[in-house]
Structure 1
Amino acid sequence: MQAVRHHPPGGTEKLRIAWEDIPEIDDDEVLVKVHAASVIWMELYWDIYRKEDGTYKTPILGEDYSGVIAKVGSKVPNDSGLQVGTEVMAFMSKAFPTKRSIDGGMAGYAKAQFSHMVPKPRSLSLIDSASVPLSALTAWQGLFDHWNLSAGQTLLVTGAAGPTSIWAVQLGKMVGARVIGTASSEESFKLLKSFGVDEVLNYKEVKLDSVLENVDVVFDTVGGDTSRQALKTLSKDGKLIYLVGQPPDDIAKDPRVDFFIVDMNAEQLAKIADSIDEGKLKPVIDSVFDFNDVVKAFEKGETGHSHGKILLKAPNV
């Protein structure tokens, strides 16, 4: 099979397409013939691939992906809904240490422990399904595990048209919150209004703390000065969920700031899939690249101007 490997340290210049054997699975694992994988440009710069001796692992990229099950281990539960031929979406949770493979879905085939995948939404194509797991779970866990978002509360989403923020926008509207989003382009404004955002602020024209107050929760994917402004808009008991890596000291010292790393949760991902099939949520796809155009796909991500997810097709799809 073909696979995209990254040879850190470095960015897109360290991407290589290699020919490799199809991976063997353990008894509790599932082998997936990949259809598409989500592009996370930050993965090129993660420290998790650096080993104790200073050298680097060379992972197959792609934390979340979609595909069709090709093989099921003997210890995969019969009631998991996972069998040969099932169309699935998977999330590797690479950020959490594990003895298992750290290889992801940018390949012809990928393997994962059975609890890291669920059947894809029936209403979505296999390609669109690859956009869901990481981003939707991040928004779900941020708003419902790290804050109990509910009807009538005010949610501020920074960079609201981005690949993760757009899920936070939808979840906020789904539970009846008042949703405010920041953006700067007409395309972003149009997208956010199509999801019923109550107020869209052009961050190039206004400072958040000059126009907002008593915000219950900020879902922050921008960081920097935007975070500092957003903190001033919070109510006394509000919370800023910081999603731009570890927050700097001046932001982290505020007790209302919460940083977390998303982890796989099959129950939550299944609920998200159900909500998609019920028409309550939907993915937003910025662009889909052919496998051999992987460098272009990551370069598009690095611009920071995508509307929704960037996806990479698997080889021969």
Structure 2
Amino acid sequence: MRAVVITEFGGPEALRWQEVPDPRPDQDEVVIEVAASAVNRADVLQRRGFYEPPPGVPRYPGLEVSGTVVEVGTDVEQFTPGDEVCALLAGGGYAEKVAVPWQQVMPVPEGVPLLLAAGLPEVACTVWSNVFMLARLRKGETLLVHGGASGIGTFAVQLAKALGSRVVTTVGSAEKARRLIELGADEVIDYREEDFAEKVQADVILDIIGASYLSRNIQTLRTGGRLVIIGLQGGSKAEIDLGALLAKRASVHGTALRSRPVEEKGVIVRSVVQNVWPLVSAGAVRPVVYAEVPMEQAAEAHRMLESGEHVGKILLVR
């Protein structure tokens, strides 16, 4: 089969469409013939040499796919060849086929085309596990989402709004602000012109920036607030005012999805299917797709992501 291989660490030109060995399923895995994958910032970091895949995972990138089951391991009873599915991966999604533990495989939500389903696993599992399972955002509370135009941001805005929360997000352009309002955001703050810490008080913050936003995030939290950091685009080291944190009885969580054990991912996946998929099927939450790019042109898709102009997900289609 063919896959997008990182030939050397560096720019998008390091991505090449090459022959690689076909995957074979372990006893608890399924093999999926990939219809589409999606580009995530973690893929860019891996291409640059800053984000090694876990041991035993294919070296080519890709954290989510949609497609059709073509083979199952001896211990798998939950899926059979011919099932249309989407899956959360630890890597290897930029390929014609991928083997994945069955616990990380999900049925495609009713009403969602197979290709578009490739843009759901990573954002749905990330948002649900962090905002709702960990931070326990409740109806009527305020969620602040940084990077609202990203795949994670567009999904978080819709899901929190559908479940009854007030949603505020930060973006970097008037056009992105307009799109986020259309998706349900109650307030959009242009970080180039306004300081979010002076504009909003939040119960939960979903943050992809990290160090450069830390002090302002804590300033923004209400008493009992929860800050969840899932990215480090603004650096990894910062001082924290513990006095401010204690005074607010607030909490700071740092999490990552890719490195979690299969069993933990399975718990998240099952919870997503139970709690999120019905909202997707009903149209209350939908995948936001910026572009569909042929998989063999993954380098162009990476350039598109790094330009920062996109709103939503960039898909790699077969």
TM-score after normalising by structure 1: 0.86
Flag as ranges the 4+ runs of structure 1 deviating above 6 A: none
1:261 aligns with 2:273: no
1:97 match: none
1:87 aligns with 2:91: no
1:31 aligns with 2:31: yes
1:248 match: 237
Percent of aligned pairs with the same residue? 29
Residue identity opposite 1:290 in structure 2: P
Q: Residue 180 of structure 1: CA displacement? A: 0.9
Q: Which stretch shifts more, 231-240 or 10-19?
A: 10-19
Q: CA deviation digits over 1:215-273, x for unaligned, max 9? A: 21111123343443232111132121112148423259656321101253321231322
Matches within 5 A, 1:90-239: 90-92=87-89, 94=90, 103-213=91-201, 215-239=202-226
Unaligned runs of 5+ residues in structure 1 are 95-102
Q: CA deviation digits over 1:92-124, x for unaligned, max 9? A: 1x2xxxxxxxx5121111111111101111211
Q: Residue 156 of structure 1: CA displacement? A: 1.0
1:293 match: 297
1:282 aligns with 2:292: no
1:3 aligns with 2:3: yes
Q: Which stretch shifts more, 242-251 or 168-177?
A: 242-251
SS at match of 1:274: helix
Q: Residue 59 of structure 1: CA displacement? A: 0.9
Counterparts in 2 of 1:137 and 1:12: CA distance versus 1, 3 Å: same
Matches within 5 A, 1:294-313: 294-313=298-317
Aligned residues: 297
Q: Which stretch shifts more, 190-199 or 9-18?
A: 9-18
2:12 match: 12
Give, in whole Å, the separation in 2 of the partners of 1:154 and 1:39: 29
Is the contact made by 1:7 and 1:59 (CA closer than 8 Å) also made in structure 2? Answer: no
SS at match of 2:151: coil
Is the contact made by 1:247 and 1:259 (CA closer than 8 Å) also made in structure 2? Answer: no
Is the contact made by 2:4 and 2:296 (CA closer than 8 Å) also made in structure 1? Answer: no
Q: CA deviation digits over 1:18-56, x for unaligned, max 9? A: 11332222222111110000112432434453899xxxx
Is the contact made by 1:2 and 1:19 (CA closer than 8 Å) also made in structure 2? Answer: yes
Residue identity opposite 2:150 in structure 1: G
Q: Which stretch shifts more, 20-29 or 118-127?
A: 20-29
Give, in whole Å, the separation in 1 of the partners of 2:54 and 2:285: 39
Counterparts in 2 of 1:222 and 1:49: CA distance versus 1, 3 Å: closer
Residue identity opposite 1:25 in structure 2: P
Alpha-carbon RMSD across the aligned residues, in angstroms, is: 2.3
Give, in whole Å, the separation in 1 of the partners of 2:142 and 2:4: 42
Residue identity opposite 1:260 in structure 2: T
